[in-house]
Amino acid sequence: MPVAHVNGINLGYDDHGSGEPVVMITGTAAPGRIWRAHQVPALKAAGYRVVTVDNRGIPPTDLCEEGFTLDDMAADVAALITHLDAGPCRVVGFSLGGIIVQELLLARPDLVSQAVLIASCGRADALITAMSAADLALADSGITLPARYAAYVQALQNLSPDTLNDEEQLQDWLSVLELSPPSPAAVRGQLGLQLIGNRLPAYRRITVPCQVIGFRDDLIARPALVRELARHIPGAAYAEIPGCGHYGCLEKPDAVNEIITAFFTRN
């Protein structure tokens, strides 16, 4: 994996294919490789060069244990785009990655030609606030949940009822989640960054064309919050995919990929 020294840190990324670049930013505690299974192949097949990023706190990117902000993470993406001489380019953000991209669109709109915001929001409501506080409390407690228990909780939080009720699919998911539990202590700096104030008025200043995607069964970035975000970004398109939860990019990848590639072609 290449590592670029940008914005004062070492930032890990992967570079796939050739063509017009698409930079993909993932969510809390997730490595850039989560895009490899479905989104990278689809975008490469559509003729794009795909750059996936490991955010601060995800090795080989620096842990930055002294702490960091959303502005730092948006600046990381801006610096990487500049380092790769890729701007203006298309950028995709999921969950926390969507919020990072939204801040990038305000700070450096010159670097982005189109943006896709997946399962993102423009403010932390009561449930997101409670979830973030709980995650921080767990990280600071020093307690490590048993892998089997952590997998069960992740499944309930992030998968749709359709998947939870399909015993074969669910068992596959539980096996994967049990093998790769996130370490709250390792991503302590990322936890809580979704605790944003009401950024919706600021997002009315976004001028870059945006596609917003929500997942109907998402219990984290619930569709009402994602629709609210889309309404506040001038000209943003909104699409909602049924039958998937917060992990919709993995539960319904074909639907997600179709929306992304259609948006890129349309604008």
- Positions marked active-site: 95, 218, 246
H/E stretch holding 237 reads: strand 237-241
- Direct distance between the N- and C-terminal alpha carbons of the chain, in angstroms, rounded to an integer: 32
Give 194's DSSP letter: T
Say which amino acid occupies 128. I
Give 84's DSSP letter: T
Burial pattern 30-65, b for ≥16 Cβ within 10 A else e, equals bbbebbeebbbbbbbebebbbbbbbbbbbeebbebe
Say which amino acid occupies 211. Q
